[in-house]
């Protein structure tokens, strides 16, 4: 469903990962873990083209786009438009919820469908209410973010991404900024989506949740990405300091 082929990304002389080739199955939650600084966020950002990779190819469903080394800066028009279409296939949720503070929960959710998809306002409101009820927040539709808990704000952020009807949801440590008591309400939404057959890629340090939702975990380490049985991940996960094996290349 999401197919990554020989994906390589560097920042200047620093190679973050090289020749990553793998597939994430449709309708499943895939968990990505690894030490800090090993490229998990960069990898997700490449998948929704927030970050341009150096070379490789990404396929989502029946659409794919890729390029060779040196081509990213001068993509032909057809590739640029394919890239725009690919962007719409993914929804991304970040650690910081980034809701618009001057818009209600419902307005945060309906904004992109109205502005990007030109959806009529009435239709967008219906859709927004349906999606807010999926994340258990229809009663907060008219609340401003400042009146919502962190867990509620993150659920609105998930609803906002879902409103664009993506094929794949990407989460970069969606519970890291939350009070531990609020983590489960966000994970429960993701569990529901999993039951409904949404394809989800999740970067997290929560070993318990990772084991719970998947029998394997993709580990980023030293510029490579490999699947491991989730039962093999230690309780403490990964060290939070540094990424062994990654060094600046001449
Ligand atoms: N915009 C950037 N410019 C230069 N270097 C960057 C940039 N973004 C990330 N990096 C570097 O790329 C490497 C991977 O960073 P990334 O944020 O993807 O790691 P991560 O695995 O998500 O770490 P964490 O678990 O701390 O979130 C790091 O060495 C980081 O310093
Ligand atoms: Mg990160």
| pLDDT tens by residue, 202-226 | 999 999 999 999 999 999 988 899 9
Ligand 1 first shell, C-beta below 6 A: 11, 16, 34, 36-42
Give domain 2-232's CATH number out of 3.40.50.300, 3.40.630.30, 3.10.310.30, 3.30.70.120: 3.40.50.300
Identify the band that residue 238 occupies on the pLDDT scale cut at 50, 70 and 90: low
- Outline where DSSP puts E strands in the chain: 2-11, 14-24, 29-33, 55-60, 63-67, 90-93, 168-172, 199-203, 216-221, 224-229
Ligand 1 pocket test, pick from 38, 204, 205, 244 with the greatest ligand atom count within 8 Å of Cβ, gives 38
The closest residue, in CA terms, to atom 6 on ligand 1 is 11
152 Cα distance to chain centroid:
18
Stretch 16-33: mean pLDDT: 96
Tokens describing residue 180: 């531990």
Q: Residue 232 class from Cβ within 10 Å (0-12 exposed, 13-18 middle, 19+ buried)?
A: exposed
Q: Is pLDDT at 249 greater than 50 in this prediction?
A: no
Three-state SS at 167: coil
Stretch 41-69: mean pLDDT: 96
* Model pTM score: 0.94
Mean pLDDT of the chain: 92
Three-state SS at 96: coil
Q: Is pLDDT at 157 greater than 50 in this prediction?
A: yes
Beta bridge partners of 224: 221
CB atoms within 10 A of CB 110: 27
Q: List residues, by chain if needed, whose CB lies under 5 Å from ion ligand 2.
A: 41
Stretch 231-236: mean pLDDT: 77
pLDDT given at position 244: 52
């Amino acid at each position: 469903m999401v197919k990554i082929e020989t994906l390589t990304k560097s920042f200047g002389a620093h190679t973050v990962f090289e020749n990553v080739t793998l597939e994430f199955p449709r309708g499943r939650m895939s968990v990505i873990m690894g030490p800090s600084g090993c490229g998990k966020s960069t990898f997700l950002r490449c998948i929704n083209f927030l970050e341009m990779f150096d070379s490789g190819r990404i396929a989502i469903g029946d659409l794919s786009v890729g390029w060779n080394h040196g081509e990213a800066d001068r993509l032909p028009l057809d590739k640029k438009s394919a890239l725009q279409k690919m962007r719409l296939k993914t929804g991304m949720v970040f650690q910081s919820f980034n809701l618009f503070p001057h818009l209600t929960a419902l307005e945060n959710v309906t904004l992109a469908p109205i502005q990007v998809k030109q959806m009529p306002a009435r239709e967008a409101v219906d859709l927004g209410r349906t999606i807010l009820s999926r994340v258990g927040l229809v009663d907060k539709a008219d609340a401003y973010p400042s009146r919502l808990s962190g867990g509620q704000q993150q659920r609105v952020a998930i609803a906002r991404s879902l409103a664009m009807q993506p094929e794949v949801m990407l989460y970069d440590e969606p519970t890291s900024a939350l009070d531990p008591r609020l983590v489960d309400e966000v994970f429960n939404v993701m569990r529901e989506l999993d039951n409904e057959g949404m394809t989800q890629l999740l970067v997290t340090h929560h070993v318990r949740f990772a084991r719970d939702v998947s029998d394997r975990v993709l580990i980023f380490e030293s510029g490579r990405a490999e699947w491991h049985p989730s039962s093999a991940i230690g309780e403490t996960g990964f060290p939070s300091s540094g990424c062994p094996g990654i060094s600046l290349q001449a």
